[in-house]
Amino acid sequence: MKAHSVTDKARILIKQTVSKAWLQFAVLCTVIFFIPAIFGHPLASGDNLIQFNPLRVLAAQIERHGNLPLWNQFNWSGTPLLAGFNAGAFYPTSWLYIFLPSAWAWGISQGLPYFAASLGFYLLMKETGVSEFSSRITGLSFAFAGVMITQGVHLDMISGISMAPWLLLFASRIIEPSQHSRLRSSIYLAICFALVILAGAPEAMLDELILLVVFSLAKLLKYQAQWPKKLLWLTAAGLLAIGISAAQWVPGLAYQKISQRANPTTAFVAFGAFAPQYFYSLFAPYLFGGPGRGVHIYFGPFTFEEVSIYPTIGPIIALFTTIIHAVKRTLDSVLIPYLLIAVIGVVLALGSYTPVESLLYHLPLYGQQRLQGRNILDLDVAMFAFFGIWLDRLLQNSDSKRPWIRWLAFLPAAMIVVLYGSFFRYKNFVTRFLHAGHRPQHLTNLREALIFAIELLIALIAGYVYLKAPKLSRNIAKSLIVAIVLVDLFVFNLFGSLGTPSFLSQFSSTTRQDAYIHTLIGDDYRFAIFDPHLYSFSDLNWFGQPDLNIAAGNHSIQGYSSLSLAQYENATGSHAQATLWPPLLASPLVDTLATKVILTNWRYLTSPYGSPTAVPLPDFYVSGDAAPGTLPQSQSSPNFQHSPLQPGPTDTYGLFGRNMSITGVDVSLGQRFSPETIKEVGLLENDGSIVQLAPAAPGPSERVPGALHYSLPAQANPRVIQASGVVVRQILPLQISDPQQALVAGVGVSTTKGYFALAGELQPYLTFPHFRPLGTSGSISIFDNSRAQPIIKAPATKVQILSQSTALNGTLRLSIASPAATTISRAEAYAPGWQARYSSAATGRTFQLPVINAGGLQNISVPAGKWNITVFYHPKSAYVGIWISLASIFVLAVFLALRYLRKRSLN
Residue 433: what pLDDT? 72
The rounded distance, in Å, linking the Cα atoms of 755 and 606 is 10
HEC string for 762-828:
CCCCCCCCCEEEEEEECCEEEEEECCCCCCEECCCCCCEEEEEEECCCCCEEEEEEECCCEEEEEEE
Asked if the model's pLDDT at residue 668 lies above 90, the reply is no
Residue 649: what pLDDT? 67
Q: Which amino acid is at 233?
A: W
Tell me the per-residue pLDDT of 870-907, one tens digit each, with 9 for 90 and over.
999 999 999 999 999 999 999 999 988 888 888 777 76
Asked if the model's pLDDT at residue 638 lies above 70, the reply is no
Give the helix/strand (H/E) hosting 311: none
Asked if the model's pLDDT at residue 307 lies above 60, the reply is yes
Mean pLDDT of all residues in 37-62: 92
User: C-alpha distances in angstroms, 461 versus 384, 447, 458, 479, 665?
Assistant: 20, 21, 5, 13, 64
Residue 716: what pLDDT? 61
For β-strands 526-530 and 595-600, DSSP reports them as parallel
Q: By C-alpha distance, which of 859, 874, 868 is closest to 804? A: 868
The rounded distance, in Å, linking the Cα atoms of 268 and 576 is 13
Report the first-to-last Cα separation within the chain, whole angstroms: 42
The rounded distance, in Å, linking the Cα atoms of 605 and 763 is 5
Tell me the per-residue pLDDT of 704-759, one tens digit each, with 9 for 90 and over.
666 788 888 776 666 788 899 998 887 666 555 444 444 445 788 888 888 888 88
Mean pLDDT of all residues in 121-126: 95
The rounded distance, in Å, linking the Cα atoms of 530 and 774 is 16
Asked if the model's pLDDT at residue 5 lies above 70, the reply is no
Mean pLDDT of all residues in 268-295: 82
For residue 65, count CB atoms less than 10 angstroms from its CB and return exposed for 0-12, middle for 13-18, buried for 19 or more. exposed
Q: Which of 9-13, 383-387, 474-478 has the lowest mean pLDDT?
A: 9-13
Asked if the model's pLDDT at residue 679 lies above 90, the reply is no
Find out whether 704 and 744 touch, Cβ atoms under 8 Å: no
Residue 637: what pLDDT? 29
Find out whether 599 and 782 touch, Cβ atoms under 8 Å: yes
Find out whether 607 and 756 touch, Cβ atoms under 8 Å: yes
Query: What are the residues facing 668 on neighbouring strands?
Result: 707, 746
Asked if the model's pLDDT at residue 95 lies above 90, the reply is yes
Residue 179: what pLDDT? 83
* Sheet of strand 526-530, all strands in order from the earlier edge strand to the far edge: 555-556, 526-530, 595-600, 780-785, 771-777
Mean pLDDT of all residues in 650-670: 83
Residue 675 backbone phi and psi in degrees, to 5: -55, -25
Asked if the model's pLDDT at residue 529 lies above 60, the reply is yes
Phi-psi region of 595 (alpha: psi -120 to 50; beta: other; left: phi over 0): beta
The rounded distance, in Å, linking the Cα atoms of 714 and 716 is 6
Q: By C-alpha distance, which of 188, 175, 262 is closest to 227? A: 175
The rounded distance, in Å, linking the Cα atoms of 40 and 699 is 58
Residue 635: pLDDT band with limits 50, 70, 90: very low
The rounded distance, in Å, linking the Cα atoms of 88 and 159 is 10
Residue 61: what pLDDT? 95
Asked if the model's pLDDT at residue 425 lies above 70, the reply is yes
Detail the DSSP E strand segments found in 584-647: 595-600, 607-608
Long-range contacts of 62-67 (CB under 8 A, 24+ apart): 62/808, 62/809, 63/89, 63/95, 63/98, 64/98, 65/807, 65/808, 65/809, 67/807, 67/808, 67/809, 67/811
What lies within 8 Å, CB to CB, of 807 at 6+ separation is: 65, 67, 813
Asked if the model's pLDDT at residue 458 lies above 60, the reply is yes
Topology given in CATH for the domain delimited by 605-758:
Jelly Rolls (2.60.120)
CA 378 remoteness from chain centre: 22
Q: By C-alpha distance, which of 97, 214, 110 is closest to 153? A: 110
Residue 624: pLDDT band with limits 50, 70, 90: very low
Residue 648: pLDDT band with limits 50, 70, 90: low
Query: What are the residues facing 750 on neighbouring strands?
Result: 664, 755
The rounded distance, in Å, linking the Cα atoms of 509 and 852 is 34
Average pLDDT of the residues of the chain: 85
Mean pLDDT of all residues in 175-204: 92
Residue 741: what pLDDT? 44
Angle, vertex CA 870, rays to CA 868 and CA 876, nearest 5: 150
Within the chain, all domains assigned CATH 2.60.120 are found at 605-758
Tell me the per-residue pLDDT of 490-501, one tens digit each, with 9 for 90 and over.
988 888 777 677
Model pTM score: 0.89
HEC string for 471-519:
HCCHHHHHHHHHHHHHHHHHHHHHCCHHHCCCCHHHHCCCCHHHHHHHH
User: C-alpha distances in angstroms, 373 versus 203, 273, 276, 348, 737?
Assistant: 9, 4, 10, 7, 48
Find out whether 487 and 413 touch, Cβ atoms under 8 Å: no
Angle, vertex CA 203, rays to CA 200 and CA 208, nearest 5: 100
Topology given in CATH for the domain delimited by 792-873:
Immunoglobulin-like (2.60.40)
Residue 842: what pLDDT? 85
Residue 711: what pLDDT? 85
Mean pLDDT of all residues in 496-520: 86
Find out whether 667 and 726 touch, Cβ atoms under 8 Å: no
Phi-psi region of 880 (alpha: psi -120 to 50; beta: other; left: phi over 0): alpha
Number of other CB atoms surrounding residue 297 within 10 Å: 12
Q: Of all residues in the chain, what percent carry a pLDDT higher than 90?
A: 47
Detail the DSSP E strand segments found in 49-116: 71-72, 79-80
Residue 836: what pLDDT? 96
Residue 615: pLDDT band with limits 50, 70, 90: very low
Within the chain, all domains assigned CATH 2.60.40.1180 are found at 792-873
